[in-house]
Each structure stands twice: as C-alpha cells, then as structure tokens.
Amino acid sequence: MERIVLTIGGLFSSFGWGDLFFFVVTLLLLLLLVYIVYLIKVDDDEEEGDLSQMLSVADDKISLPKPSVNQKPLSKIVDELETDYSPKPIDLSEYEKEMEDTAIISYDELVQRASTATNIYYDDNYESGFDDIVVQKVDNKESKTQELVNLPKAIMMSYENEEAFLSALKVLQKNLVR
C-alpha cells in the first residue's frame, strides 16, 4: 500500500501547477455533468408521476356535455358559412381611402371578382405518370367563362434589318461618346 502511495505521489510531483489545475477543472466539470444528468432524470421521473396522477384526477372530473336540442349539426353550419358569408367592412384611414380612390382596382372590385365562381375544367385524358400524386392539366378550351385571347404573332426582323439596326446603334454610341 505504501508503495502505491509513493507511486501516486511521484506521479503528482512530476506534474506542474498548470497540469494539476487542468485536471482539477476537468474533474469538477465531470462532476457537474453527472449532477445535471441526475437532476434531469429525477425531474423526468417526477413529471411521469404527475402526469399519471393528473390523468386519473381528470378522468374523475371530466364529463362531456350532452348535446342540447337547439345545437345545429356541423354540416349545416358549414353550408351556412359557405352561402351567407360576407367579409366585414374595413375601417379605412384617410390615407387608405385616398389610395383606394386612386387605385387601379379597388378592394370591392377584387371581392366581387372573387365571389363570382369560375369553373375550371380539367383534361380527363392527361396522364401525369405519378401514381401517388394527382396531377391534373387545366383545359382552357372547355372553359366557358373565359374566352381565349388571340395574341398577335411576333414578327421577327430579317437578318439584314437587324444588322442595319445594330450598326445604327454603334454610330449613335460613338456620337454620344464625343
């Protein structure tokens, strides 16, 4: 036993003060870590007990309300909301009223456009290639609410006209630099 103590004493005497300080700080940090883990574990155990106790007490106190005669079914409420819903009026400040008057499209027009239902038709023959996801292609030709707009065809410049235009731009650039 004496020999072990002398060996340990010799080991500590070979370390400098900086090394000993580092070992003591490391040991204290390890002890602090173990203590924190212990506190977390104890806290979890208490919460589990509290939860089971609260559930048993809650089962005794909770009684579901019985539906009264004048309650409406949920589907009726949803149907009423879908048909009779109108947005609440908004109180506007003076600045907002001015912006509303000078706007290209007003809020009321937007609400009116949103309320008019537009039918969207889907192409039944479209195969997306995905089994898990439904992808549908909109068919504009079937739509009766919107007319297709015939856009004018873009007219491309000939190569000679394009070269003449570019050379005119170069001359203009040279004249502007002077």
- Residue 175: inside a domain: no
| Paired tokens of 17 | 């003060």
Per-residue DSSP letters for 86-146?
-PPP-PPPHHHHHHHHHSSS-HHHHHHHHHS-----B-TT---S-SSS----B-TTT-SSS
Q: Which of residues 68 and 175 earns the better pLDDT score?
A: 175
Give DSSP secondary structure letters for 143-170.
-SSSPPP-PPPPPPPPHHHHHHHHHHHH
pLDDT at 161 over 70: yes
Shared-domain flag, residues 55 and 6:
yes
Q: Give a yes or no: residue 169 inside a domain.
A: no
**Residue 99 belongs to domain spanning:** 88-143
What tokens does 29 get?
């940090």
* CA dihedral for 119, 122, 123, 125, sign (positive or negative): negative
Amino acid identity, position 41: K
pLDDT at 58 over 70: no
155 in a domain, yes or no?
Answer: no
Scanning the structure block, which residue is given the tokens 């506007």?
A: 92
CA distances from 67 to 30, 53, 97, 127 (A): 60, 29, 47, 48
Q: How many domains does the chain have?
A: 2
User: Same domain, yes or no, for 57 and 92?
Assistant: no
**Domain C-terminal end among 22, 42, 61:** 61
In-domain check, residue 56: yes
pLDDT bin (cut points 50, 70, 90) of residue 140 is low
CB within 8 Å of 165: residues ≥ 6 apart: 157
Of the pLDDT bands very low, low, confident and very high (cuts 50, 70, 90), residue 98 is confident
